[in-house]
């Protein structure tokens, strides 16, 4: 979603701002803009379209300015037009903004009564005009006060009047050489460079320049000048992601690179955590408190959005079977507005790649406020969700740039598998640590099995391309293959924009079978698990109605390959690792189809990587 970059220092600001915006493109956006300040005037450029377009119209500009703010906008209030793009100017100030001002229409009405005129439909312009309104009032009231104190006071008053979560950067003609800002529920990261200070909404825009950063504290107004960052409660930390981790490494897209990274990131997520033998515990960062938490746990809620929600759905099967714990899963945007039962022994786990998803964060805050134990499974170590959760079980997938999540999902599932297995051991279930569903040996060989599947990538990609003219693609599975079917359908719609739906195989007869005729393709997940025979019966029902069946099953399964039109065999695997393996062909089918349709693989239309608004 929206991205922010700001720079003040000895270098010319514009190339640094545009480079930062490019690095934030993966978050999803539809317009971009910047404002430079020369000491007397603002130079503002905005473009309804990509950052390249903005760079083109600014080719001869920005040669001398050392101070600037920039933004990529993902439209919420008002269409993605140039007028609605940030920065927004109001009198003496310019502003960029992430997040949402919920009471913007009331404030707008009030300001209009004072004569304010608005050129855009955005909540951002309302925020800018509100700050300017207070700045002018204060200047008239205390004309001798220094302009910096006036801006700070105007920001403070405006903050007390707006409702919502936001991050802003602001420059004022009355205070040259400085950027003002507030982080109030939308992240901002700052770094002190040799030649100045760089601030952004996301570390991706900063790591190529420096790996020591500070996540600005919530609710504090800060000021940045070329020498320093002035803010209370700052803590700098080193980031272990390096710039080369955000390059494509010769792959056509970040998504394809990330699909192929899965054996490695699954191995990294397990590294140092696997037990030394089948009776020993898994190794977590906070071993003692982990044991206390889970020994006393009575109910588990797993909450997430999008792909992370499918990881939660899959994990429900693990937690119920191995840990014998009541596990409920919910979409964060629903959970946060329900009346969930929080009793002693309730544990709430939130799963999020980015660690910034607004609804997931709200669900976590609800649980924290209720006083129950919380944990997170996040891929971004210093994200808001990581920081606010009681315990962390981090994934180690590295930066995921493709909007359609792949390696974060398999890393989440790997951690959830290990966690459920370990909790079962802790609670005295499956004391031996070995069972037919999954042992730590099966987990340890996961990277190898993933590698084997990826060797067949061309087959999946080519098969995906053959689906490009379908009117609808269906995905079905039973048991743990049901959430994987949902994830397959999600990957397909995200990347190809074709209608696609996922179902529990047992639900076919309750509606979805009405879709089936000879023009419909259906991907059936049919591994040799305990539900195999039932899934095969469903396959027969589809065949009887002429549906085109692509079956993803177990290598050497001649029965399924006879019934299906096309058959993909995956290595035989334990029940617990099966979902992690089975999602790979689905990722590649979607990729192959999207490529054949000429879609933008890394930045599908209308989608955002990090959804920081409700």
For residues 316-355, which are near ligand G6P according to CB under 6 A?
352-354
Draw the binding track, 45-84, toward ligand G6P (x: CB under 6 A; -: no contact).
Answer: ----------------------------------------
Minimal CB distance to ligand G6P: which residue? 306
Q: Are 588 and 598 in contact (CB under 8 A)?
A: no
2 flagged as catalytic: yes
Which whole-number Å values give the CA distances from 526 to 512, 550, 577, in the listed order?
18, 10, 14
SS3 395: coil
Among 58, 158, 308, 587, binds ligand G6P (CB under 6 A): 308
Tell me the site size for ligand G6P, rule CB under 6 A: 16
Among 99, 263, 306, 424, binds ligand G6P (CB under 6 A): 306
Out of 45, 396, 528, 609, the active site residue is 609
Among 122, 307, 314, 535, binds ligand G6P (CB under 6 A): 307
Per CB under 6 A, the segment of 3-11, 34-42, 402-410, 425-433 that binds ligand G6P is 402-410
Closer of 311 and 526 to ligand G6P (Cβ): 311
Q: What angle do CA 3, 6, 12 make, to 5 degrees?
A: 130
Closer of 47 and 269 to ligand G6P (Cβ): 269
C-alpha closest to that of 352 among 313, 396, 386 = 386
SS3 296: coil
Assigned token pair, 407: 């390696």
Per CB under 6 A, the segment of 14-22, 95-103, 400-408, 416-424 that binds ligand G6P is 400-408
| Least distance in angstroms from the C-beta of 402 to ligand G6P | 8
| Least distance in angstroms from the C-beta of 245 to ligand G6P | 17
* 403 near ligand G6P (CB under 6 A): yes
For residues 148-207, which are near ligand G6P according to CB under 6 A?
none
Out of 2, 214, 305, 593, the active site residue is 2
**Backbone torsions φ then ψ of 53, nearest 5 degrees:** -60, -40
| Least distance in angstroms from the C-beta of 468 to ligand G6P | 22
C-alpha closest to that of 187 among 174, 172, 206 = 206
Q: How deeply is 232 buried, as exposed, middle or buried, from its count of CB atoms within 10 A (0-12, 13-18, 19+)?
A: exposed
For residues 233-252, which are near ligand G6P according to CB under 6 A?
none
Q: Are 307 and 408 in contact (CB under 8 A)?
A: yes
Per CB under 6 A, the segment of 183-191, 206-214, 403-411, 480-488 that binds ligand G6P is 403-411
C-alpha closest to that of 405 among 501, 514, 462, 490 = 490
Among 47, 269, 357, 392, binds ligand G6P (CB under 6 A): 357
| Least distance in angstroms from the C-beta of 605 to ligand G6P | 12
* 611 near ligand G6P (CB under 6 A): yes
* 457 near ligand G6P (CB under 6 A): no
Which whole-number Å values give the CA distances from 22 to 26, 160, 357, in the listed order?
8, 33, 21
Closer of 551 and 611 to ligand G6P (Cβ): 611
C-alpha closest to that of 486 among 228, 283, 305 = 305
| Least distance in angstroms from the C-beta of 369 to ligand G6P | 20
Closer of 493 and 609 to ligand G6P (Cβ): 609
| Least distance in angstroms from the C-beta of 382 to ligand G6P | 14
Q: How far is the C-alpha of 307 from the C-alpha of 9, rounded, in Å?
A: 40
Pairing of strands 566-570, 548-554: parallel
Among 94, 265, 305, 484, binds ligand G6P (CB under 6 A): 305
Closer of 191 and 405 to ligand G6P (Cβ): 405
SS3 166: strand
Tokens 């790591």 sit at which residue?
A: 207
**Residue 244 CB neighbour total at 10 angstroms:** 9
Among 405, 410, 470, 582, binds ligand G6P (CB under 6 A): 405
C-alpha closest to that of 475 among 502, 508, 496, 509 = 502
Q: What is the 3-state secondary structure (H, E, C) of 87-128?
A: CEEECCEEEEEEEEECCHHHHHHHHHHCCCCCCCCCHHHHHH
φ/ψ bin of 219: left (φ > 0), alpha (ψ from -120 to 50), beta (otherwise): left
Per CB under 6 A, the segment of 286-294, 365-373, 449-457, 604-612 that binds ligand G6P is 604-612
Tokens 């009564």 sit at which residue?
A: 113
Among 360, 374, 392, 582, binds ligand G6P (CB under 6 A): 360
Which whole-number Å values give the CA distances from 608 to 1, 296, 402, in the listed order?
5, 38, 10
* 607 near ligand G6P (CB under 6 A): yes
* 609 near ligand G6P (CB under 6 A): yes
Q: In the complex, which residues of this chain contact ligand G6P (CB under 6 A)?
A: 305-308, 352-354, 357, 360, 403-405, 607, 609-611
Active-site residue numbers?
2, 609
């Amino acid at each position: 979603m929206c991205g922010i970059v700001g720079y003040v220092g000895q270098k010319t600001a514009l190339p640094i701002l545009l480079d930062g915006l490019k690095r934030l493109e993966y978050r999803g956006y539809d317009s971009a803009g910047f404002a430079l300040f020369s000491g007397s005037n603002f130079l503002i450029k905005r473009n309804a379209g990509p950052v390249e377009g903005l760079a083109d119209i600014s080719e001869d500009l920005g040669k001398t300015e050392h101070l600037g703010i920039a933004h990529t906008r993902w439209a919420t209030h008002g269409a993605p037009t140039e007028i609605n793009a940030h920065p927004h100017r109001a009198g003496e100030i310019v502003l960029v903004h992430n997040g949402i001002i919920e009471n913007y229409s009331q404030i707008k009405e009030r300001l209009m009564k004072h004569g304010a005129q608005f050129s855009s439909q955005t909540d951002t312009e309302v925020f800018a005009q509100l700050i300017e309104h207070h700045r002018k009032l204060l200047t008239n009231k205390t004309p001798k006060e220094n302009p910096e104190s006036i801006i700070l006071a105007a920001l403070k008053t405006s903050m007390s009047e707006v409702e919502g979560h936001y991050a802003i950067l602001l420059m004022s003609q009355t205070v040259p050489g400085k950027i003002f800002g507030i982080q109030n529920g939308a992240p901002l990261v700052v770094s002190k460079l040799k030649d100045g200070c760089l601030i952004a909404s996301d570390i991706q825009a900063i790591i190529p320049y420096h790996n020591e950063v500070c996540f600005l504290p919530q609710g504090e107004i800060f000021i940045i000048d070329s020498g320093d960052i002035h803010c209370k409660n700052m803590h700098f930390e080193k980031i272990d992601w390096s710039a080369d981790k955000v390059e494509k490494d010769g792959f056509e897209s970040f998504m394809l690179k990330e699909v192929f990274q899965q054996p490695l990131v699954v191995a990294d997520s397990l590294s140092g955590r696997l037990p030394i033998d089948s009776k020993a515990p898994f190794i977590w960062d906070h071993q003692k408190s982990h044991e206390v938490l889970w020994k006393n746990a009575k109910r588990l809620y797993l909450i997430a959005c999008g792909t992370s929600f499918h990881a939660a759905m899959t994990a429900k099967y693990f937690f119920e079977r191995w840990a014998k714990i009541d596990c409920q899963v919910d979409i964060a945007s629903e959970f946060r507005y329900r009346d969930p039962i929080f009793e002693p022994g309730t544990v709430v786990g939130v799963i999020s790649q980015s660690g910034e998803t607004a609804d997931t964060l709200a669900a976590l805050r609800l649980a924290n406020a209720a006083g129950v134990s919380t944990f997170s499974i996040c891929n971004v170590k210093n994200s808001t969700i990581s920081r606010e959760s009681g315990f962390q079980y981090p994934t180690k997938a590295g930066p995921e740039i493709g909007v359609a999540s792949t390696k974060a999902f398999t890393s989440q599932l790997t951690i959830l598998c290990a966690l459920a297995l370990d909790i079962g051991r802790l609670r005295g279930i499956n004391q031996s640590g070995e069972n037919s569903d999954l042992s730590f040996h099966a987990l340890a060989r996961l990277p190898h099995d993933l590698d084997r599947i990826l060797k067949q990538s061309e087959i999946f990609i080519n098969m995906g391309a053959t689906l490009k003219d379908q009117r609808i693609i269906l995905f079905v599975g039973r048991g743990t293959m049901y959430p994987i079917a949902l994830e397959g359908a999600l990957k397909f719609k995200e990347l190809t924009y074709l209608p696609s739906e996922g179902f529990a195989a047992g639900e076919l007869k309750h509606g979805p079978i009405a879709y089936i005729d000879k023009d419909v393709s259906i991907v059936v997940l049919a591994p040799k698990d305990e539900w195999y025979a039932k899934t095969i019966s469903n396959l027969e029902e589809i065949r009887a109605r002429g549906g085109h069946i692509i079956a993803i099953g177990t290598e050497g399964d001649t029965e399924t390959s006879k019934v299906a039109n096309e058959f993909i065999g995956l290595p035989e695997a334990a029940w617990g690792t099966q979902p992690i393996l089975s999602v790979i062909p689905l990722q590649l089918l979607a990729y192959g189809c999207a490529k054949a349709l000429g879609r933008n693989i890394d930045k599908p239309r209308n989608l955002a990587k990090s959804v920081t608004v409700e």
